[in-house]
Amino acid sequence: MQNEVFDSIIIGAGHAGIEAALACSRMGLKTLLLTLNLDSIGMMPCNPAIGGTGKGHLVREIDAMGGEMGLAADDTLIQMRMLNTSKGPAVHSLRAQMDKRRYHERMKRTLERQENLTLMQGEVTEILTENGRVSGVRTDEGFTYGCRAVVLCGGVYLKSRILIGEWSRSCGPSGLLRSEGLSDALKNLGIPLQRFKTGTPARVRKSSLDLDEMEIQLGDEPTPAFSFLNGELHLKQDPCYLTYTNQKTHDIILKNLDRSPMYAGRIHATGTRYCPSIEDKIVRFPDHDRHQIFIEPEGRTTEEMYVQGMSTSLPADVQVDMLHTMPGLTHCEIMRLGYAIEYDCLMPNVLDLRLMVKSIPGLFSAGQVNGSSGYEEAAAQGFYAGVNAALYLRGEEPFLLDRSDAYIGVLVDDLATKGTPEPYRMMTSRCEYRLLLRQDNADLRLTERARRLGLVSDARWARLCEKREGIKKTLERLGTHVPPTDALRVYLESIGESVPANGAKLFDLLKRPNVRYTDLARLFDCLEPVDREIEEQVEVTAHYDGYIEKQSEQVRRFRAMESMPLPEGLDYMTLDGLRIEARQKLNALRPENIGQASRISGVSPADIGVLLVFLKRGFPHA
């Protein structure tokens, strides 16, 4: 059966598929979004939380460019906290506990109301090509849909299998249907796959918990927002709770370690390093007397509480016994067991920097099917792939973010250039230029670029222009030289700062780590009260002035390397002076420029030196 023809088709409606579908349709493409189950749109099968260290940066960047995740999170969160506030602004990250049912409903409603977008339940089993290019998809029900671009957002559903102790079942997360045919379809297209594993903890019934025995964890007041459109939020927040494992917990786990599928050899997939199971924590950190466990609500209309930090695939009886050893959980009732899930995913270095499969024009891929982990990483890739699919169909230049532009640029470059041998998680430590790429300035970095794509509303644009103008005027006022008044001397001495004998520029005073803009505005009439957003920007600019300039110089050197393109069809095996490993890796991965080549494992600085010589002299005919 030949059905309607679309410009683009998105496979999967998780966090990647949502952003890809919205980006394509908002850029004017007639788009079809196909999902295994309409009731699992935007589902959070693991922790119902958005943001966290590094991940919060991705959400802010998605929002700055007109994506949906930040807005939906603000609409449906039940607690918000700013993490790492005791450290510098480069690593400050927002994290929200979500009402997962309301989040699903919010995202489904957005998709249903989006112009140019058709939403449909169905399982894609084949990606069709014609003359090596994408031409459509075929579903399990026998329908065929034509298109010129596909964005694969299959999540963890490709031939997925859930394991609890000795029990296993071929299905997706939370017992949903899995994708049966896509793995073979991708293999038939010559795309190599790997098998990864992740997991989730038990859910317990709130009314069965002894909450007084645990430490209460409250949200931030005033409540910050993910979206730059929202400023501060005003809502009732629900508390989370903190408890700890103990030696009895550890003893039960160690005694039953041979019953864990991972340690019994029944799982052959690679697990995530940065989100280990509780049994893995106990084995890897035997010197730890206890581990933090957070008890977090899954929503306002359910009793289910998420036991963060206790991801496990141990048998049911062991899960019950180990939970009952911890303060506050002695009488807990398990509503859902924890489980491990293994699944097929792409080797992401088959992708170029647009997230398009190099060998198949028109086939893009985003999210956990690319080997990443996390809702935020998925949404960021989905937005990026959706935008580039639209530009590909328009015949326009791709939208590329590099490592000095955004955390999204780091994410895409890490996956496409380096690949990943384990589920990839975004962290601030992966970002070389994190002082410049803070979450608070994502709009200043990215909104104008997205405006050119037609993804930024007039209201968002006006807000950015107002913020920019406010920062500019405030910095100009801070250039005023002020005398050492008595009031200034009293203030500086009260915070342990010396008094400049001949006065100083206000900006130089603000450079001092203990000086705050609001205090200077109180002392000097030339400064005006400003919004918290503007105050934050000028304080960071002043406090980290020297470091920002140093990192900006590093970015200039980085961009010089990125601006040195390598010939597309070059056979690196013909280049004398390159080591064999470098020739093989360069031929396989086809880097687009010298900078990307330098980040490939197995390509040494000496090999880069050889490439630079060839760039100067000229390469052999490609």
Please write down the HEC assignment for all residues of 357-374: ECCCCCEEECCHHHCECC
Q: What contacts 24+ positions apart, CB below 8 Å, involve 596-600? A: 596/353, 596/413, 596/417, 596/562, 597/566, 598/561, 599/413, 599/417, 599/418, 600/417, 600/418
Residue written as tokens 């410009």? Answer: 7
Non-local (6+) Cβ contacts of 574 within 8 A are 620
Tens-digit pLDDT profile for residues 222-244: 999 999 999 889 999 999 999 99
Q: Is 174 left (phi over 0), alpha (psi -120 to 50) or beta?
A: left
Backbone angles phi, psi at 93, to 5 degrees: -145, 135
Q: Which residues pair with 81 in a beta bridge?
A: 95
- Buried b / exposed e along 498-536 (16+ C-beta atoms within 10 A): eebeeebebbbbbbbeebebebbbebbeebeebeebbbb
Residues 267, 167 contacting (CB under 8 angstroms): no
CATH 1.10.150.570 in the chain, residues?
A: 564-617
pLDDT for res 621: 67
Amino acid at 473: K
pLDDT for res 622: 53
- Helix 532-543 to helix 458-477 angle (10° resolution) is 50
pLDDT for res 274: 82
What's the CATH number of domain 461-552, 2.40.50.180, 1.10.10.1800, 1.10.3720.10, 3.90.380.10?
1.10.10.1800
pTM: 0.95
Rounded CA-CA distance 414/527 in Å is 44
Rounded CA-CA distance 312/340 in Å is 7
pLDDT for res 53: 95
CATH 1.10.10.1800 in the chain, residues?
A: 461-552
Residues 245, 293 contacting (CB under 8 angstroms): yes
Amino acid at 489: R
CATH number of the domain located at residue range(s) 203-342 in this protein? 2.40.30.260
pLDDT for res 268: 87
CA angle 515, 516, 521 (to 5 degrees): 115
Rounded CA-CA distance 250/270 in Å is 24
pLDDT for res 66: 98
Give mean pLDDT in consecutive 10-residue pieces for the chain, a chain of 622 residues: 86 98 98 97 96 97 98 98 94 97 98 98 97 96 95 97 96 94 96 96 98 97 95 93 98 96 90 89 94 97 97 97 98 97 96 97 98 97 98 97 97 95 95 96 98 95 97 97 94 94 95 95 95 95 95 94 91 92 92 93 92 89 60
Architecture in CATH of 564-617: Orthogonal Bundle (1.10)
CB neighbour class for 453 (10 Å; exposed up to 12, middle 13-18, buried from 19): middle
Closest to 106 in 3D by CA, of 80, 78, 76: 76
Rounded CA-CA distance 302/546 in Å is 50
Closest to 151 in 3D by CA, of 449, 396, 405, 357: 357
Q: Which two tokens stand for residue 44?
A: 């959070």
Backbone angles phi, psi at 151, to 5 degrees: -115, 110
pLDDT for res 2: 59
